[in-house]
Amino acid sequence: MKILKPTILGLGILTNCALAESTIYQSIANELTIDSAGVIKVKVLLVNETDEITCSHGNYDFLFNLESIIGQKWYDTLLLSRNANSLIDFIYDNTSCTLLALKLPKLYEHGDNVNEPGKGLKETGEYGNVALIGSNILTDANYSTNSHYGQDVVTAAFDGYTYSTKSNSDATDKISRGIWLHKIIDEADEEIVKPWLQVDFNKNVTLVGLAIFMNQQSLELGRSPRYATLYTSLDGVDFEKIENLSFSFDSPASGNFSSPITSRFFRLVIDSNYGDNRFIEVDELEFYQ
């Protein structure tokens, strides 16, 4: 079973002591209920009849409040897990039946060659980006765009830098200014354009989402993407529209796919930004499996 890695979701932090005193049950959230008080009620799937979960809250196994930041992120993680039909570790206090953390099991053991056919991609940085230039046999030739402004080439959106700040710990050298910039109006015919960025992963891969990183000044100028459309292709010639994405006025701004997508070429077409009438900008574009 493919294990889903979350996209930009904090899952909670536990001390070693707390982890040592906790119990883990690996399953999926089989049933989710949100009551009028904002309480999330979770019923897990009984995977093994001889290994029953040792806690309960009436008809449910776990409860947590959606009003807290961690509660919101736990809820997002459970939804992602359900969409991919993937396992998740429920870490809880066996005495109080309090949910302590959610953990997604690791995909591979250390030393696995993740570039072998049928296997996933090497993940980089804090969030598991698989599109960083230099990783997964990705070179300049794997990235393309319809155009760019000045020195701000498309590969700069995959170099692990948010303008001058290194946002991916696995990044090496910054490319140009560390951003991709594109004019909204085509100077030749004065028509509005919808610029796009594209990654060729060299083989079919399965991805679940992406995120866009922006520096604060460009974010405030309204240059960050607001609405975009994802297209994919198996051959780089015939592209299929997959789904529409919307991004929050934030950095990073995530775009989770409605379901896992398998393809080779992933193209993000920027439909509009947050108000700047001159430029659309992407400092860093990350993809997640």
Q: How far is it, in rounded angstroms, from Cα 105 to Cα 251?
A: 27
> Do the strands 240-246 and 279-282 form a parallel or antiparallel pair, or are they unpaired?
unpaired
> Do the strands 29-34 and 62-65 form a parallel or antiparallel pair, or are they unpaired?
unpaired
Q: How far is it, in rounded angstroms, from Cα 168 to Cα 100?
A: 28
- Domain spans of the chain? 16-103, 140-288
Q: How far is it, in rounded angstroms, from Cα 99 to Cα 92?
A: 4
Regions of the chain with pLDDT less than 70 = 1-21, 47-51, 84-85, 106-119
Q: How far is it, in rounded angstroms, from Cα 92 to Cα 66?
A: 17
The residue written with tokens 């906790």 in the block is: 22
Note whether 258 and 243 are within 8 A (CB). Answer: yes
What pLDDT score was predicted for residue 120?
Answer: 74
Taking domain 140-288, whether its CATH number is 2.60.120.260 is answered by yes
The residue written with tokens 């701000």 in the block is: 152
β-partners of residue 129 are: 124
Dihedrals phi, psi of 140, to nearest 5 degrees? -50, -35
Q: Which of 29, 39, 12 lies closest to 88, judged by CA?
A: 29
Integer distance in angstroms from the first to the last C-alpha of the chain? 14
Taking domain 16-103, whether its CATH number is 3.30.390.50 is answered by no
Strand, coil or helix: 211: strand
Over the stretch 25-48, which tens digit does the pLDDT of each residue have?
888 888 899 999 999 999 988 766
What pLDDT score was predicted for residue 149?
Answer: 86
Burial of 117 (0-12, 13-18, 19+ CB in 10 A): exposed
What pLDDT score was predicted for residue 167?
Answer: 94
Q: How far is it, in rounded angstroms, from Cα 230 to Cα 247?
A: 13
Strand, coil or helix: 242: strand
What pLDDT score was predicted for residue 86?
Answer: 72
Torsion of CA 195, 162, 149, 223, to 10 degrees: 60
